[in-house]
Amino acid sequence: MPKACTILLRGPSKDILNEIDRNLADAMSVARNVVFDPTLAPGGGATEMAISVGLHAKARSVVGIEGWPYRAVADAMEVVPRTLVQNSGGNAIRVLTELRVRLFLVDNSYPDFRPS
């Protein structure tokens, strides 16, 4: 198994090459961190949706206008997944509804992502 490799970067300008170099260094740091500590958080707006579902549940348990801040923050947390779905060309209403249902059914918990 190889222990080293060479990556050749090419680009139209020095500024672009510097940006590519920074992005590659960031990606290699992420890969290194995952190897040393393989704990991952779900991406794609799933964490924000889980927080939103939990805050909506809390808002339903609070009586009166005291629940409004919970609803406002819950709605704000849905902006990230909604934007990701819209940018990828998906149907935001359908995808967010499916995600809410899945999060509700599993009680906002995620499986353990550590390798066995």
Shared domain for 87 and 58, answered yes or no, is yes
Q: From CA 98, how far away is CA 24, in angstroms rounded?
A: 34
Shared domain for 36 and 53, answered yes or no, is no
Shared domain for 29 and 76, answered yes or no, is no
pLDDT of residue 107: 57
**Percent of the chain residues past pLDDT 90, beyond the cut:** 44
In a domain, 1, yes or no: no
Q: What is the pLDDT of residues 31-59, one digit of tens each?
A: 888 888 877 777 778 888 888 888 998 99
| Residue 42: closest CA among 80, 76, 71, 13 | 80
Range of the domain at 82: 46-105
Q: What is the pLDDT of residues 92-116, one digit of tens each?
A: 999 888 888 887 776 545 544 444 3
State the average pLDDT for the chain. 84
pLDDT of residue 1: 67
Shared domain for 78 and 95, answered yes or no, is yes
| Residue 28: closest CA among 61, 62, 52, 4 | 4
In a domain, 28, yes or no: yes
Does the reported pTM lie above 0.75? no
In a domain, 96, yes or no: yes
